[in-house]
């Protein structure tokens, strides 16, 4: 998936470790974080909570092969921007990443325009 996203012109960083991902998000800025619901070491909800506790402004998209209404609702309550069922349509995922980037840029622009 990372290689295909790079072919679409996106900069991509990957890791298979949620702990390393938490370190990465402390050290760099990302337009969107794509996480899997089912991971070794930590489930997607626990990881989503950790990401949002570390930085509530992160744009997180949850991928799952087990999409249900309850999974979607819980993901949204925990702060996920979106939920995509696997196998993911890469064009749809790319559009969601672009939307996350636009929302992030709008939020930064809005915060820069606030009177001091």
| Structural domains of the chain ordered from first start | 2-113 (3.40.50.2300)
CA dist list (Å): 79 to 75, 88, 89: 6, 20, 22
> Considering the entire predicted model, what is its pTM?
0.83
CA distance 38 to 111: 35
Mean pLDDT of the chain: 87
Mean pLDDT of 109-116: 63
Tell me the per-residue pLDDT of 9-66, one tens digit each, with 9 for 90 and over: 889 999 988 999 999 999 888 889 999 888 888 888 999 999 999 988 889 999 888 8
């Amino acid at each position: 998936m990372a290689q295909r996203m790079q072919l679409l012109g996106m900069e991509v960083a990957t890791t298979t470790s949620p702990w390393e991902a938490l370190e990465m998000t402390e050290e760099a800025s990302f337009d969107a974080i794509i996480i899997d619901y089912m991971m070794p070491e930590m489930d997607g909800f626990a990881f989503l909570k950790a990401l949002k506790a570390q930085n509530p402004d992160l744009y997180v998209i949850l991928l799952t092969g087990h999409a249900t209404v309850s999974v979607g609702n819980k993901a949204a309550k925990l702060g996920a921007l979106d939920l995509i069922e696997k196998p993911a349509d890469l064009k749809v995922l790319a559009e969601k990443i672009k939307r996350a980037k636009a929302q992030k840029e709008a939020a930064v622009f809005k915060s820069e325009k606030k009177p001091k």
